[in-house]
Amino acid sequence: IDVCVGGNSVEKKIYVHLNYTVPCVRLLNATHQIGCQSSLSGNVGVLHVLESEDNLDWVLKSGPNPPYLVILESPLFTRSIMMKLKNGSRRVAGVVVVAPNANPLEAFSPHTTCPNENSGVYSEDYDPALAHCNVTVWNPFGNGLAYEEFDFPIFSLKDDNDTHVIRQCYMEHNRAVNGSTPQYPLCAMQLYSHMSAVTNTATCMRRNDIDFSISPEMVCDPLGDYNVWASTRPINNTAKGHKMWESVVIAAARLDSRSFFFDIAPGADSGVSGFVTLLAAAHALRNATQEAPPNRTILYAFFQGETFDYIGSSRMVYDMQNNQFAVDLDNVHSVLEIGQVGLHTESKLWLHSDPVSRKNSSVLFQVRKLIENLQSAAGGLNISMDEPSVSQPLPPSSFQRFLRARPIPGVVLEDHQSAFSNRFYESMYDNAEYLNISYPPNMTPEEQLEFVTDTAKALTEVATMVAKALYMQAGGSEPQLSSIKADAQIVTRLLYGFLVRSNNSWFQQLIPSDLMSHLANRPTNFYVGVTQQSSEPTLLVQHLLANLTGSTVNITQENCQNQREDENDKENKHMYYYMWVQGAAPPNSTQREGFCIRSTVRLSKALSPAFDMREYTSKDYSTWTESRWKSIKGRIFLVASHDLEMLTLGVGIAVLLTSLLLTYVISSKADMLFSSGREPTNATY
């Protein structure tokens, strides 16, 4: 391979290591394992660049040098091709998908057609006619690839220098010209992604508990993170459970997303559009709720792990039912959830509510009131709203988990009437480009951060409408409504920070210095990850929400970090959370001027209750875990023919045996061969 490789080690002369490899990893639940893995020593195969589906025969039947490692351009990454490769897996060592630099024209969603089908409210016990997407198939483009199991590794590679090297290697060594068989040496690739966990969650959690050594080997971890929440009025978070005289309107959005590949989950429409709208609405409500507090408290909730059977929302409901949260379900007045709102065509949004709980007259009355508040809030804005037909169930939403507990009035705001408008739901293409977030050429990153895109303007309108509706729903006074307005500058910065690059000057100012390493020059990955640590989205949303809804307090860094206003303050830590953020550096200085933010923002566990109860086969709660692995890597090299390798081995063994025989013969005849006339022992010199 014509690649300039530095260093003199033999390994570097033999192998070209691939950068930016993103694997598909193994996930497990109560009944299944899904995803991909390699053998313990990695899978090796001869490279084959697939040019069309007709070309599959070479890999599956006629190619003379199996197993093959198939390189796919993204248009060929379809269910049809992948299932053929899966069924012929004895001749397939692995697959590499080349991620394009621009989105495809046709729809692609590796998710199922009915997301979270078995964990929502509709079931055999709650209107079976609406269960299993019988009425509305929400994600018609879903091909289910992300829920299949493959017994070979599948990696994604950026279309850059690595893929150029792979193509060049294939063209020079492996491509069959005019039907001829390619001659050795051939270009081969090795992919490592061996997964430790097998079968299902119950099996891997049981193996986690086997303790034979000082440092037990863990094989899987529960998926989970933290929910982020805040309230317009401080609520005592130390005293859990029911709060007398407290009535709460929950404003919810989900934080996470996923795609087929582990480290790519941009979630632009599926997640970001909703929670950015809610962040902007919370900011718009800051002044009004402090100057003229409404009768009810608005509680902002950002749920993690919703993609995997509603981990975050089911945990919050469970905590509310078990007096483990700051309020309980009796305190909840109503719920407004912001779903996918990034693609509202002709500025139209849809208000979804649950037809089953609406049969209760008091719930129906409150739902109608919430819808009236939303329609009234849209007055004067470039938004029109409508409701789907009466019999249609709720789309996949966190609100469904509240309804599983009791009939609570609520509305889910979406950009689709029935099936999703999102053609790339839970895929790597649900990104900034898909939401039409683009910038004039030759702009610096700082100029892009401040540039107000059309998408930001549209979401600002939605955020203003949501803020006004929440204020009215909480019983706020009419005169304040005119002052409630979302800030397009904030919305455009949020979209840039989450969908283009989180490492920007605004995000840097709003976080503590020890979190700087979490910022990156790429879009945020919204995959929930495992419970060991908070993910980047959780930390960013926690600090953004605090800065957008809290206030700056003039206290020392030590007091701020000790959750107190001064040395004698023992009370405020129950009501507020204090965080020291690094702030901006003044002109002509590199030293940042940090300050303390006081807010009601808190983190609450987003770990499925199934793991606390050790019910790993639970049908009520998420049981998803992620397998552990040792290393993820890929490399290419030239491989000699099998016959030549066997010949070399044979010659080597023959030389070894010959040398052993010679050694034996020489050793047995040593006295004769090496004896010389001995001198008498009494010789003198």
Tokens 């990695």 label which residue?
A: 42
The pLDDT of residue 211: 72
Rounded to whole angstroms, how far apart are CA atoms 309 and 396?
10
**Pairing assessment for the beta strands 248-254 and 332-338 based on DSSP bridges:** parallel
Global pTM value: 0.93
- Annotate 223-240 with b (16+ C-beta within 10 A) or e (fewer): bbbbbbbbbbbbbebeeb
Q: What are phi and psi of 92, to 5 degrees?
A: -120, 120
Determine contact, residues 59/88, Cβ cutoff 8 Å: yes
Determine contact, residues 285/336, Cβ cutoff 8 Å: no
Rounded to whole angstroms, how far apart are CA atoms 396 and 381?
27
Q: What are phi and psi of 587, to 5 degrees?
A: -55, 145
Rounded to whole angstroms, how far apart are CA atoms 170 and 383?
53
Determine which helix (DSSP H) or strand (DSSP E) holds 152, and give its type and residue range: none
Beta bridge partners of 96: 71, 155
Tokens 């009601």 label which residue?
A: 600
In the DSSP assignment, the letter for residue 326 is: S
Determine contact, residues 135/352, Cβ cutoff 8 Å: no
Rounded to whole angstroms, how far apart are CA atoms 115 and 270?
12
Query: If the chain, 685 residues long, is cut into consecutive pieces of 10 residues, what is the mean pLDDT of each piece?
Result: 53 82 94 94 94 90 91 93 91 94 93 94 92 93 95 91 88 82 88 94 91 76 96 96 96 96 92 97 96 96 96 97 96 97 80 95 96 94 88 95 97 94 94 94 95 95 97 92 96 97 95 92 93 86 97 95 92 95 88 94 96 94 95 90 84 95 89 69 58
Q: What are phi and psi of 229, to 5 degrees?
A: -145, 160
Rounded to whole angstroms, how far apart are CA atoms 334 and 294?
15
Rounded to whole angstroms, how far apart are CA atoms 164 and 141?
31
What's the angle, vertex CA 95, arms to CA 90 and CA 98, rounded to 5?
Answer: 165
Rounded to whole angstroms, how far apart are CA atoms 292 and 404?
34
The pLDDT of residue 8: 53
Nearest Cα residue to 224 out of 534, 673, 636:
534
The pLDDT of residue 26: 96
pLDDT tens for residues 497-528?
Answer: 999 999 999 999 999 999 999 999 999 999 99
CB proximity list for 17: less than 8 A, separation 6 or greater: 633, 634, 635
The pLDDT of residue 2: 47
End-to-end CA distance of the chain: 69
Rounded to whole angstroms, how far apart are CA atoms 448 and 521?
13
The pLDDT of residue 678: 56
Rounded to whole angstroms, how far apart are CA atoms 103 and 522?
17
DSSP three-state, residue 158: strand
Q: What number of helices (H) and strands (E) belong to the chain?
A: 19, 24
The pLDDT of residue 5: 46
The pLDDT of residue 1: 47
Detail the DSSP E strand segments found in 291-356.
Answer: 297-303, 332-338, 348-352
In the DSSP assignment, the letter for residue 61 is: I
DSSP three-state, residue 223: strand
pLDDT tens for residues 444-468?
Answer: 999 999 999 999 999 999 999 999 9
What are the respective helix, strand and coil percentages of the chain, to the nearest 5?
A: 35, 20, 45
The pLDDT of residue 311: 96
Tokens 């050694």 label which residue?
A: 663
DSSP three-state, residue 70: strand
